[in-house]
Structure 1
């Protein structure tokens, strides 16, 4: 059974997918005003650099977008001043603007409309069972001026639903072209339903039984989104409690556990995930897995279990780019095949483009995974000011949210006026530098707040002070009220 939890906090959207009560995927996106992958804009060519075969375009933001020029993209004849309709492929990073393409696509649940051909294509994951592809080619209604790519979700859908979606997406396409043609300046033409719309297309499946949201607007949007989709039978619930939705369902604790670089396997082995400047490196260790009477069997069991867990961790943590796995040395070719099968099977539900390369001579496996959004670390960690950026700490804003949630939980059980908080000393300078801001963030302006900064405190602590004797003992720790 799959359940989806959707929580909005200020400008942040968090979506968690659980399968049989285990966290399977987690998406955290900040609603920003910057271009996002999947959005479609009208742009104007500002400059062309032949040396790197690249065009720079104004799409209405401070940083110009960039687009590579190649015959296969059909964009070699553009020139400065041309107006072009573009799709964002990658969001801007640091000083680099967004990467865009003139080959736009509009995704739906069953099909994707594309402009770079006018044929019918199929997802590589679709196997031609029961002449499915032939049936689609003979029964689908496709406009002549666009191409369509049939997605795996179409396998469980009625042909009427597929054709209806093609018709709806084609109307969106025509509106985009019309608006882009008559607009006199660069502008956003299509946002795909924002972050929520883009994620829902990929995350909902026939196995999804329930979606729980904390926003009435999202509740209405999702009900409209799943309407008339024959393969979806989903119950949508609106969560209205004061406590954060992720905290109430213990998802917050699972997210925080992802900060640990070491993941222990059931067999006793473990994997260690480390981020370098250029890539992610994952090391597999047999550790305490000594149950087998054969070294080869121990190695195989540990590696196979590690392969399954590595796929899960990559998807949960939203790791992308180059990922290198150092499996325990394997000499047997058949055992290598078993490990690779387990690894590839772990990514069978992954919607991102993921390429897994075979074992190298050094027993390394390389993965290239398309980047979409930031990793989980980017949202919950920041550089530690005490060690001059050499270490990481939980973001203060994220910590404030956790503390606020604990105060809400305590307040639901007691009438309290005094709150005691313990946090690591690395936050002392930030909190004492803006005490009022801190108290506002934790929603405690109506309370007296006592904060104790502790050395090497791994977690935080929030307690209600119910007796005057408790307050008297820590009076010197009073920071507000």
Structure 2
């Protein structure tokens, strides 16, 4: 059975996916008024620069987007000031705006609707001529869209394909209406894309239980799964965070460690550089096999399974380079490559794997979908001038809040001693009211102490007056809370 956990905060959407009670994927989307891949905008052509074959598009945001001035667009005779429908294909980087395309599509699990096209097309990977004929004869072309049947579409019934076409065509009609009649430049499709994709990829499969923590997501998911018998929807009503209640917070914190042990005694190390992620495979204590070549193969094969799992769990994107243990027997490369592709099979449409190099390196390109766990959990350490990383104060505030709520629910205690790493001291003292508010401590007695060398924080409920007397110098006063 699958379980999907959807936790929403003011500017943060977190999604976790479990299969048979094992965490297999985590995604974070942060609302920051910047376009993300897959969103569709109603824009206006701001400038056309033939010299560099570029068109700049006003999206109604802080930064203009840009796209290639293709021969197709030149033939259409598009002009400055013209309104245009565009899709984001690359997110903004630094001062550079989002890269766009006028070829807008709405992806499903089994089909893709290409806006303002016509006819029915098939993925190049579908070789079954009879299946193509069956679909072509039983699927009616639609007005203003081209239906492209994806590879997976050849493996399901016509009924399932038709159901998905109907659902996506409703989305297209909504986009078309907004493009033609809405005022202003704005995003017209793509709210919570990560959530939509997770739900879409779970459709028509095994029983899936969805946990949400608010009315908006409850209604959104209920609308999406309407008529799907394999989905069960449950709204969490507790006061603690959804992730904390279900033990997901602890599992995500473990992912900060860059070393992951393998059953055979070997291990992998995952490091982030400015340009890419690097995964190093090591044999470690794997000495079970008498043959050196067998030891290498066993370690590399176990590494492929773990790497596929960790890429999804940590939501790594961009360029990922894997340094496998050197294989003297070149025939082993094909076995390892096959195992790597199998481990990433569930990451449909997101991953491209390149062949081995002469140095036994494998390069993977993975599309970005939300933030990696590092981006929303960690920040640069000011004391070491960016050479190290620490947990974000905002993330620690959430962890402390969870513990305070848990203790209060179990023991009705409302007095706490908190020790926090002194690297956060200046930031907390800048606005101690905000810190106390974020940890849910405005109506509680808080004794706050800064300590060097602890990992993050420690929290202790105070029960006896003697404990409070010993810590009186650290009490946060009512004036500091105002």
Question: Secondary structure of the residue that 2:331 maps to in structure 1?
Answer: helix
Alignment-derived partner of residue 424 in structure 2: 427
What RMSD, in angstroms, separates the aligned Cα atoms of the two structures?
2.4
- Equivalent in 274, 279, 289 of residue 277 of structure 1: 274
Aligned residues: 478
Alignment-derived partner of residue 42 in structure 1: 42
Alignment-derived partner of residue 376 in structure 2: 379
Alignment-derived partner of residue 16 in structure 1: 16
Bigger shift: 335-344 or 184-193?
184-193
Alignment-derived partner of residue 451 in structure 1: 448
Distance 1:203 1:141 in 2: 26
CA contact (8 A) 2:408 2:414 kept: no
**Relative to structure 1, is the Cα distance of residues 122 and 211 closer, same or farther in structure 2, using a 3 angstrom cutoff?**
farther
Q: Does 2:132 correspond to 1:97?
A: no
Bigger shift: 396-405 or 265-274?
265-274
Distance 1:8 1:439 in 2: 21
Alignment-derived partner of residue 401 in structure 1: 398
Alignment-derived partner of residue 162 in structure 1: 161
Distance 2:276 2:57 in 1: 29
Cα offset, 1:236, TM superposition: 1.1
Output one character per residue of 1:344-378: Cα deviation in whole Å (capped at 9) or x when no partner.
Answer: 00111113431111111111111111223222211
Q: Flag structure 1 segments of 5+ consecutive residues without an equivalent.
A: none
Alignment-derived partner of residue 113 in structure 1: 113
Cα offset, 1:78, TM superposition: 3.0
Question: Secondary structure of the residue that 1:333 maps to in structure 2?
Answer: coil
Q: TM-score, normalised by structure 1?
A: 0.92
Question: Secondary structure of the residue that 2:473 maps to in structure 1?
Answer: helix
Alignment-derived partner of residue 297 in structure 1: 294
- Equivalent in 304, 308, 311 of residue 305 of structure 2: 308
Cα offset, 1:474, TM superposition: 2.2
Distance 2:178 2:197 in 1: 21
**Relative to structure 1, is the Cα distance of residues 179 and 2 closer, same or farther in structure 2, using a 3 angstrom cutoff?**
closer
Cα offset, 1:258, TM superposition: 1.4
Q: Does 2:463 correspond to 1:469?
A: no
CA contact (8 A) 1:422 1:451 kept: yes
CA contact (8 A) 1:420 1:462 kept: yes
CA contact (8 A) 2:125 2:151 kept: yes
Q: Does 2:323 correspond to 1:326?
A: yes
**Relative to structure 1, is the Cα distance of residues 174 and 432 closer, same or farther in structure 2, using a 3 angstrom cutoff?**
closer
Output one character per residue of 1:269-295: Cα deviation in whole Å (capped at 9) or x when no partner.
Answer: 111111111111111111121222221
Cα offset, 1:448, TM superposition: 1.4
**Relative to structure 1, is the Cα distance of residues 427 and 296 closer, same or farther in structure 2, using a 3 angstrom cutoff?**
same
Output one character per residue of 1:281-315: Cα deviation in whole Å (capped at 9) or x when no partner.
Answer: 11111112122222111111111111111111111
Question: Secondary structure of the residue that 1:277 maps to in structure 2?
Answer: coil
Distance 2:28 2:81 in 1: 37
Q: TM-score, normalised by structure 2?
A: 0.92
Cα offset, 1:190, TM superposition: 2.6
Distance 2:125 2:472 in 1: 64
**Relative to structure 1, is the Cα distance of residues 294 and 47 closer, same or farther in structure 2, using a 3 angstrom cutoff?**
same
Bigger shift: 36-45 or 361-370?
36-45
CA contact (8 A) 1:142 1:166 kept: no
Question: Secondary structure of the residue that 1:29 maps to in structure 2?
Answer: strand
Distance 2:403 2:74 in 1: 56
Alignment-derived partner of residue 256 in structure 1: 253
Distance 1:127 1:331 in 2: 37
Distance 1:428 1:352 in 2: 44
Cα offset, 1:475, TM superposition: 2.2
CA contact (8 A) 2:43 2:186 kept: yes
Q: Does 2:183 correspond to 1:188?
A: no
**Relative to structure 1, is the Cα distance of residues 254 and 4 closer, same or farther in structure 2, using a 3 angstrom cutoff?**
same
Cα offset, 1:439, TM superposition: 0.4
Distance 2:80 2:89 in 1: 21
Distance 1:76 1:353 in 2: 32
Alignment-derived partner of residue 33 in structure 1: 33
Distance 2:325 2:109 in 1: 40
